[in-house]
Structure 1
Amino acid sequence: MRSMARMRSGHRYSPGFTIIELMVVITILGILAVIAVVAYQSYTTRTKIVELIVMAGTCRTAVFEAYYFGKRPDGGFGCERPDPTGEYTQSIAVDAHGKIIVTARGFGDPAIDGQVVTLTPMVDGNPAQLPTDAGKSLMWRCGFAGDGTTISTEYLPTTCRG
């Protein structure tokens, strides 16, 4: 009965969405989609960055051994690679005291390609020094800008943020 009264009074009764309501729903869905895509891209980038840390693993072992025996092996640590096999790893270098420097490639993002992440051996909260700190317990500081890391912390895993 009510709908008949509305139709007689000149108002049209529309059982469904109006075009305005539809536009609002589509706009909200679009905003949610943009947020999801950005979050996913950030997640995939962080996942790829993990490869850099994993590729540095063999060097961490070599550095541990050098500190255990008290001297750097002749000719380097033996894990340095100018062209490693990783898809996102351009190079791996190690300085005289065991700081590992891994350079990124293949991301298609200038904020990451050619940038580095560092892993620094630490003794009692300070960067370790060979042969002074030989035989001492090592900890690792990963992703600290003061050590030379140039990749933004937003892309680094939470365990590698200095």
Structure 2
Amino acid sequence: MQATAKNAFRNLKQGGFTLIELMIVVAIIGVLASIAVPQYQNYTARAQASEGLSVTAGMRADIAEQYSLNGRFPESVEKLESTAGRYVDTAEYERVGDGDNASGVITVTFQGSSALGAKTMQISSDKPQEGWTCSATGTNSIGENRLPAGCKD
């Protein structure tokens, strides 16, 4: 009869994880999250910054056309209705310098509700046919690590 009592006692024991095993799993998830969340935020900000390139594509094409026709940057570009986007608030063009030393600079300002905040990015070129470069200059810039990969130096 004692053998039957031992078998009954063994069947009542529940299996499961110990507290230390659960704590180890929680610690591992915490470490992975502490690495993944900042990387995801950076990825999101760079994706939103790339909208600045797509929103200004028409403006950059107009500037390149005027440059190829006249041999110099235009004084101004008519404001296109498509210069605002989901994350871009405004995009403004400015000619910097005179004559052959002039360059074109487009300043993109992002909305405050975006992952970038109400910060700016500059898209500039000395020769628009050769391409445009993005920069994070100024006190209110988005930061070098958040520039889109499509227009870095």
What is the TM-score when the length of structure 2 is the normalising length? 0.69
State the SS of the aligned residue for 2:145. coil
Tell me the residue number matched to 1:42: 42
Partners in 2 of 1:149 and 1:57 — Cα distance?
A: 23
Structure 2 gaps of 5+ residues are 1-13, 96-102
State the SS of the aligned residue for 1:76. coil
Structure 1 gaps of 5+ residues are 1-13, 124-136
C-alpha RMSD of matched pairs (Å): 3.1
% identical equivalent positions? 28
Tell me the residue number matched to 2:31: 31
Partners in 2 of 1:31 and 1:102 — Cα distance?
A: 36
What is the Cα deviation at residue 18 of structure 1?
2.6
The structure-2 alpha-carbon separation of the partners of 1:30 and 1:49, relative to structure 1 and needing over 3 Å to count, comes to same
Does the CA-based 8 Å contact 1:118-1:149 persist in structure 2? no
The structure-2 alpha-carbon separation of the partners of 1:147 and 1:119, relative to structure 1 and needing over 3 Å to count, comes to farther
What is the Cα deviation at residue 59 of structure 1?
1.1
State the SS of the aligned residue for 2:104. coil
Tell me the residue number matched to 1:116: 120
Partners in 1 of 2:146 and 2:87 — Cα distance?
A: 14
Runs of 4+ displaced beyond 3 Å = 14-17, 106-109, 145-149
2:93 matches 1:87 = no
State the SS of the aligned residue for 1:120. strand
Does the CA-based 8 Å contact 2:94-2:105 persist in structure 1? yes
What is the Cα deviation at residue 54 of structure 1?
0.6
2:147 matches 1:156 = yes
State the SS of the aligned residue for 1:58. helix
Tell me the residue number matched to 1:138: 129
Give the number of aligned pairs.
134
Partners in 2 of 1:84 and 1:159 — Cα distance?
A: 18
